[in-house]
Chain A
């Protein structure tokens, strides 16, 4: 490390129509270091990387690379300047050999026919061998493992003399052993003088590999500093920001009757997750991105797992959506547009779809019943719509979510799973949705809320299950003496004294 800056970023901003994704960030990246970038979804790190690699053009600000102004308008510009990316989705051609992949797009031509450029190939073979001597240049890329394909991509980047390599969640699809290998590669790259920008949601990896870290939040750069001496919980606090206001009111109707028991649920992502859910209770699952919240929701709604699940004391398998529904569970899914609403249909047609029995008599659908049901929920959840035929895709996000909730309520399930119930809805609608959830609990329904917003769990949930890296670390009781520092430590993976 000679201590000079390879990249200097000054007031770089990016505005999309209607959204400011990046609000003028400034920081330096030192030469020959592993520089980590962290932030929750929507913090602006992807936008920043896309600007750096020429996918997006910045709206404002300056970047200097090696002391020279740098303004890529295409991916090729960035590559020519020495910035390459190892994307999550690998850009290799399975049908070609490694040699073919490495020379793709740089073939020398003679009379229009490509010919092998031996100089490039020799250089590439040398680089490849320095990472993994066991792979030959003539191997078909399709026969390699994901980790080996990454090595091919890295080799390709080094062939074009890359000085900065961006790794975008490189371990997302790697096994444990492969991850170790990748970390060796990172160390070797650093030793050979490459600067690495490392993006990951996994804090362990950041602390293991990184030298410096930049924290993004809500489109702003919060801090850039050395990783040395940084506490995990401080890091998480900076990522999440916001002072949490605790105005939690306990659910009035919590009973000692157990609605759901999960014992030692294990999948590829989850390890021995066990918890109980009481009747009339709101249980929150909280953790950083990738901690395993979604997976817990999935094993309760259509995905298989090892371990035991009991619904109202009865052992039940919930590996099929219809089994879950029959057992008395219903889901308000995370992706509202993709999995929740029937956008082309009206509110009237959306609401009964989870439970047609309420609009049928003698086996036939009664329009009058559909109308009655729609009017009931439009009124009860105050859905702002022209009328019950209003096409759902034309409603606002909050009102769409209310339609999804209405569809779910019409099922009259005892256990309601809500995955990110207020994502992408405005503040007013958020409050209303929270009120609906509390009211449901008051009626004796059991509710599990999966959320990546600390404010939401703290405000809404009676107990909070804290996830880190596929494990449920602790279930804490909400109340006036709730310790948010303790929560941050747990979701950051810090060790705590028992």
Chain B
């Protein structure tokens, strides 16, 4: 298709939400670079991206899960637990690669519990995944306690931090490379695979999906497991980067993930949404909170702004994603 006025007009009509997000990003960037000299620096951008990376890695998978009409509130706890488990295993003599493998498998186990309760037994995801939120967080504290302290920071092998601080091709931090990989993977799933098509179908009409012979339970379950796996990987990554495992990290991460997804135009009830939209949503949230910090605005205003963004994004969704939505 050629680029011409009509095509741009059509895109603006169908992708209003993305257009609004891109506009917001541009305005924020210009505003912040004028307001604070420290905004436009490599260090600051790296910091924003490192923070956004964790959200985007998990949200790539969680976005498609929400497209099916489901969500996962346990990702923050699974991340914290995985970080602790990885540190604990490494400290107690398990080779780092083996420890990563075990941690990923256990993380998928948490996803498996969500898959069982929500997809198979049909329990409301708010209740079921909040259950895992508490259990996984509890186990994170428990494992730290086995080690004998509140955090695991001493006695880790020398090469423990190598993974987290690795620079791919000598310049790109691993977290950012993984973010790009997760985005690419889910863009591919969304656009080119049966699973992607089925996810949209399930979210649009679960009953019709079942009658069309789609394995609805299997797809929802698979997405829960992948979301948990990505949360586990993020946990390993974060712990390795800071060289410290704390059981109380990533509290509220589940909401960062959901805000990014909703802001990106994915409907909580499913059927609509996109990976690109989610990325834009995450960037808006990331730069907004970075800007508030740089401008020296107190944390309570930040909290208020965050809530306003959440509610505002839901209103934006209802306005733009679907005029026909009843």
Contact = CB atoms under 8 A, between A and B. Distances in A.
Contacts of A150: none
Interface in A316-364: 321-322, 325, 331, 333, 338-345, 349, 352-354, 356, 360, 363-364
A266 B198 CA distance: 34
Contacts of B201: 342, 345, 349, 353
A322 B203 CA distance: 19
A341 B322 contact: no
A267 interface: no
A341 B208 contact: yes
A342 B205 contact: yes
Contact of A340 (B198, B208, B213, B322): B208
Interface in B204-248: 204-205, 207-215
A333 B322 CA distance: 25
Given A338-B207, A344-B325, A407 B200 contact: no
Nearest to B203: A344
B324 A393 contact: yes
A482 interface: no
Contact of B193 (A339, A365, A394): A365
B322 to A, nearest CB: 7
Interface in B263-291: 267, 271-272
A159 B72 CA distance: 51
A52 to B, nearest CB: 30
A391 interface: yes
B282 to A, nearest CB: 23
A331 B204 contact: no
A360 B194 contact: yes
Given A353-B201, A353-B209, A354-B212, A342 B194 contact: no
A354 B197 CA distance: 11
A360 B197 CA distance: 12
Given A343-B205, A344-B271, A354-B212, A349 B324 contact: no
Contact of A365 (B192, B208, B211): B192
Contacts of B173: none
B125 interface: no
Interface string A13-44: 00000000000000000000000000000000
B208 A342 contact: yes
Contact of B197 (A301, A322, A353, A394): A353
Interface residues of A, number: 29
A31 to B, nearest CB: 45
Interface in B162-213: 191-194, 196-198, 200-201, 203-205, 207-213
B271 A325 contact: no
Contacts of A360: 194
A363 to B, nearest CB: 8
A339 B204 CA distance: 11
A325 B322 contact: no
Contacts of A354: 212-213
A394 B212 contact: no
Given A321-B210, A342-B204, A364 B324 contact: no
Contact of A345 (B214, B267, B271): B271
B211 A349 contact: no
Contacts of A391: 324
Nearest to B202: A342
Given A356-B197, A364-B192, A365-B196, A325 B207 contact: no
B214 A353 contact: yes
Contacts of A344: 200, 203-204, 267, 271-272, 322, 324-325
A310 B208 CA distance: 26
Contacts of B212: 353-354, 407
Given A343-B324, A344-B204, A391-B324, A349 B210 contact: no
A352 B196 CA distance: 13
Contacts of B191: 365, 367
Query: Which of A349, A363, A365 is the most central at the interface, judged by chain B CB atoms within 10 Å of its CB?
Result: A365
A352 B209 CA distance: 12
A356 B211 contact: no
Interface string A417-447: 0000000000000000000000000000000
Contacts of A353: 197-198, 201, 209, 212, 214
Contacts of A331: 211
A321 B324 CA distance: 30
B271 A365 contact: no
Nearest to A352: B197
B211 A339 contact: yes
A345 B201 CA distance: 8
12 contacts: A301-B211, A322-B213, A331-B211, A333-B208, A340-B208, A342-B205, A344-B271, A349-B200, A352-B197, A365-B192, A391-B324, A393-B324
Closest 6 CB pairs of A and B: A344-B271, A342-B204, A325-B213, A344-B204, A354-B212, A339-B207
